[in-house]
């Protein structure tokens, strides 16, 4: 009787191994070719998008971020400071919003359009002669404030202590090291005010002050 039971168990194990071998061989075949690549792509994007949605939900629960705020894949929010973002603001992909060290704050207003690969960082350096000396000291940082309706182009770096006035535009590839007045068009390294929106509107309307004079 024991011998019969052992034969039955061996037969079941063999049948199980055969089933899984056939199943995975057929599954592997189904993934080959164009149709298989499409299946893999669909699965990958589904997993990626679900992970992103879960991360967005987690961040909104732990930070002062309005429910209508959206951001692209691989955008990170972190640091021991605080981060606040107003309604209907959007951030693109691969952005870094870093409030560090503790006690610093990043405030981003409502209805802002922030493009891809933007760095917003409150931490600053002491400019010690040797990096070894600086790394041994506590971190320093200053708050960053971005007003409402600000449009920031791609690849912009916003440094510590900066305030960007509302309704301003920061051109792509700029490094913002000092305050930007409201209603300004800025760009460059370091970013400078290139134009005032008041004069731009005057020129667009063909007014008397329609000159290229800088503010």
> Catalytic residue positions?
125
- CA-CA-CA-CA torsion sign (48, 51, 57, 62): negative
Can you tell me the distance from the alpha carbon of 48 to that of 51, in angstroms, rounded to the nearest whole number? 5
On whether the CB atoms of residues 70 and 90 are closer than 8 A, the answer is yes
Transcribe 89-155 into DSSP letters: -EE-SS-EEE--STT-EEEE-TT-EE-SS-EEE-EE----SSHHHHHTSPPEE--EEE-TT-EE-TT
Structure tokens at 131: 């990096």
Which residues in 20-41 are b (16+ Cβ under 10 Å) and which e?
eeeeeeeeeeeeeeeeeeeeee
């Amino acid at each position: 009787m024991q011998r019969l039971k052992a034969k039955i168990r061996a037969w079941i194990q063999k049948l199980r191994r055969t089933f899984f071998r056939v199943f995975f061989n057929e599954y592997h075949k189904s993934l080959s070719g164009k149709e298989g690549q499409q299946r893999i792509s669909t699965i990958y994007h589904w997993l990626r998008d679900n992970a992103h949605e879960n991360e967005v939900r987690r961040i909104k629960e732990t930070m002062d971020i309005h429910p209508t705020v959206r951001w692209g894949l691989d955008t990170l929010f972190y640091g021991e400071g605080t981060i606040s973002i107003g309604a209907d603001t959007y951030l693109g992909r691969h952005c870094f919003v870093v409030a560090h060290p503790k006690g610093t704050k990043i405030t981003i207003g409502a209805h802002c359009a922030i493009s891809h690969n933007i760095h917003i960082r409150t931490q600053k350096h002491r400019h010690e002669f040797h990096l070894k000396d600086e790394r041994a000291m506590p971190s320093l940082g200053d708050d960053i404030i971005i007003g409402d309706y600000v449009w920031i182009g791609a690849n912009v770096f916003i440094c510590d202590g900066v305030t960007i006035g509302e309704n301003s535009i920061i051109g792509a590839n700029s490094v913002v090291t000092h305050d930007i007045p409201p209603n300004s068009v800025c760009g460059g390294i370091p970013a400078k005010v290139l134009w005032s929106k008041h004069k731009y509107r005057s020129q667009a309307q063909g007014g008397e002050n329609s000159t290229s004079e800088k503010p």
